[in-house]
Amino acid sequence: MSRESRARSLQQLLLLGTIAFAFAAGALILGTLVLFESMRRDVEEVTRLRLAEQNAADEITTAVYGQLLAAYQQLHAPGTRNRDRFDALGQKAYTRLRQYLFQPMTLEARLQVETLKEQHQALEVVAHGAFDLIARGESGAAQARVAEMHRLSERLQVEMARFVTVRKGDLQLLHEDQVKRFRRILLGITLMGAALTGLAIAFLWFLQRSVVLPLGHLAATAVKLGSGDLSARIPAQAHSELAAVARRFNEMATSIQSARAKIETQNLELNDNLRDLKQAQQALVQQEKLSAIGFMLAGLAHELNNPLAGILGSAECIAEELAKHTDPAVRRVNRELVTPLIRETARAGDLVRNLLHFSRQSSAQPAAADLRVAMDVAAGLRAYAFAQAGKELAMQIPDALFVTADAQRLEHAALNIMTNALEAMSTAGGTRLLVRAAAIGTDWVELTFEDDGPGFAEPDRAFDAFYSTKPVGSGTGLGLALAQRFITETGGSITAENRPSGGGRVTLRLLAATAPLTVPGVSEVSAGTAATANPGQAPDVPPDLAAEGTPALADPSAGARAGEERVVLVVEDEPALRNIQRHFLARIGIRTLLAKDAAEAVAILTSQRCDAVVTDIRMPGEMDGIALHAWIERHLPELAPRCLFVSGELAASSDPRELGVPNERVLAKPFTRDAYIARVLAVLEGAPVTS
């Protein structure tokens, strides 16, 4: 017999077996339902009869007692109402007694019903006689009749109870007959169930032999496949139906094997994407923290730079006065106390400025960044930590070396690398971190960080996200990972290695960039202080001012001719800063008008002529420095170009042009005396002289 004929036989046998089993089961169920429906009807009928007869007996008893009550009420309160009620209840009892005659019952039961009717009729006759006596006023005789009626009602109840007992016996016989019928039906159902069970067993044996065992082989192979054995396959089957299942199953296993390889590849890609996402999330959190710090520092800068400017200016005035003395003790005080005060105040101003610069919002757009400036900012933020730890932070960065990168993110990357090096040297030894840079050809700039510490435990994993050799809770393991991400996004590369002589080395290769073109008339905001090789030395005049022919600061009377006087309005809400600026300007022969706010400045400008205005940007009142400048542009336009702005909130690299102010007319606090004078002279250049 061919495989196809066997397949057809299997289908036919399964179909015939299913039909036969369904027919037998249907017949059994249908017969059972019919028999049980018949029994249900019989039981309902018996129950109905019992309930009906019980209700009838109860109603008859109730009616008799009601008649007895009506008779007593008629005896004590004669009236037609009680008599009518007595007749109505009697009619109800009679009707219920007649209903029994239409029920199937034995002869004994029928005779008992007739006896009940006679007893009830006798009761009514006695009652009507009592009613007549009451109507004639013979209450004594009527009361005797009512007592006789009471005795008749009791006899009626006894006969009713006897009748109910007879009917219960009849119904009990009917119930026993139904029980016998139920037993016969149950026996028939049992025999049919046994036959159906035998048929089911035969059918199950056939299924076990022809279907279940082959499916067991399929299941075993599926278990192997599910446990990871993707090479498991189902052997050839006897029937075409199962053979088709086996063929599809084997094709599925092959597809799973191929899909597994594809999924493994996708999982690797997903892990990479997830790692990048975590890095981006951590970077975003860090950026949000820096943004919050920036907002906080912007407010603190004004409060810090104002007193720093006052201290620096006062110290310079004191140094100038002490320098006039020839007493060696006075000169020693100037050298040992006042000069360090000037230097440290300037350093504090630089620190505030670096913090503002570092925490400002980044544009995240690569541009030409001055590598020396970026490294100076990062080093300035870690210099104190290195000094406290007794470590050296050395810089070898040439000037005018520009790279293509976002300056702030470059500072962040450098700060992370410096911090990692300091922590490594502090815990495992090392004394020096050297940061150096050099141009590699014309396209690249190489920036290296070399320390003599313990080096990297696993250099190949140094840039893995969340990898850290620090104790749990001491670091996120994202510093170098974020640095690598930033450098890669700018088109550069970063590597980590251990030096042969000991220590670690991180090398950044960045795209070189040309120096940005200087926009005519626009320069960087003056920082007000300068880091000099010799503390206390006056900073040089900014190049943009020297190019414009500003007089040298060594000649304080430059710009003022004999018999001529220049007038400058100083608008400053801090009294100390107003007085210091007055001293600075008096040094070069300039008369000063002082105003504590913009409103007072407007009053002075409307009544007196001024050659220039030096105003703070942030001041109390309705008008700040920018609003004052706008007022001058509207009412004194010839004075508007000769306004100099000072502020304690601007970072050295911020762009005040966003406020509508040119860079060359902004001076950041705290400022030195010479830087302040240079800016004022630059503003006054070309201003008309007031006699």
pLDDT band at 137 (very low <50, low <70, confident <90, very high): confident
pLDDT greater than 90 at residue 372: yes
Nearest to 589 by CA among 478, 466, 690, 486: 690
Sign of CA dihedral 33, 38, 43, 49: positive
pLDDT at 580: 92
Residue 688 phi/psi, 5-degree rounding, is -65, 150
Residue with more model confidence, 528 or 645: 645
Tokens describing residue 433: 């971190």
pLDDT at 662 over 80: no
Omega cis (within 30) before 670: yes
**Which domains are delineated in the chain?**
3-200 (1.20.120.1730), 365-515 (3.30.565.10), 554-684 (3.40.50.2300)
Judge contact between 577 and 309, C-beta under 8 A: yes
> CB of 648 within 8 A of CB of 302?
yes
pLDDT band at 559 (very low <50, low <70, confident <90, very high): very low
pLDDT at 471: 52
Most confident residue range from 48-57, 499-508, 662-671 = 499-508
Q: Phi-psi bin for 593: left (phi > 0), alpha (psi -120 to 50), beta? A: beta
Question: What are the distances in angstroms from CA 641 to CA 593, 644, 684?
Answer: 18, 9, 10
Spatial contact of 81 and 138, defined as CB atoms under 8 Å apart: no
CA distance 421 to 382: 11
The three-state secondary structure class of 395 is strand
The pTM (predicted TM-score) of the whole model is 0.41
| Ramachandran angles phi, psi of 177, nearest 5° | -65, -40
> From CA 687, how far away is CA 610, in angstroms rounded?
10
542 dihedral zone (left: phi>0; alpha: psi -120 to 50; beta): beta
What band does 311 get if pLDDT is binned at 50, 70 and 90?
Answer: confident
The pLDDT of residue 105: 75
Across 341-376, b (16+ Cβ under 10 Å) vs e yields bbbebbebbbbbbbbbbbbbebeeebeebbbbbbbb
Q: Which of 666, 13, 583 is nearest to 313 (CA)?
A: 583
CB atoms closer than 10 angstroms to residue 630: 14
Q: Print burial letters for 126-148: b (CB count within 10 Å at least 16), e (below 16).
A: bbbbbbebbeeeeeeebbebbeb
pLDDT at position 511, please? 94
Q: What is the mean pLDDT of residues 78-98?
A: 84
Q: Which two tokens stand for residue 145?
A: 């009749």
Least confident of 316-325, 446-455, 514-523, 533-542: 533-542
| Average pLDDT of the residues in 560-587 | 84
Crossing angle of helices 240-323 and 339-359, rounded to 10° = 160
Least confident of 15-19, 463-467, 480-484, 683-687: 463-467
Could you report the per-residue pLDDT of 213-256, keeping only the tens digit for each?
777 777 888 888 788 787 778 877 666 677 777 778 888 888 88
Mean pLDDT of the chain: 78
Beta-bridge mates of residue 505:
450, 497
How far apart, in whole angstroms, are the C-alpha atoms of residue 493 and residue 487?
6
Residue 355's pLDDT band, with cuts at 50, 70 and 90, is low
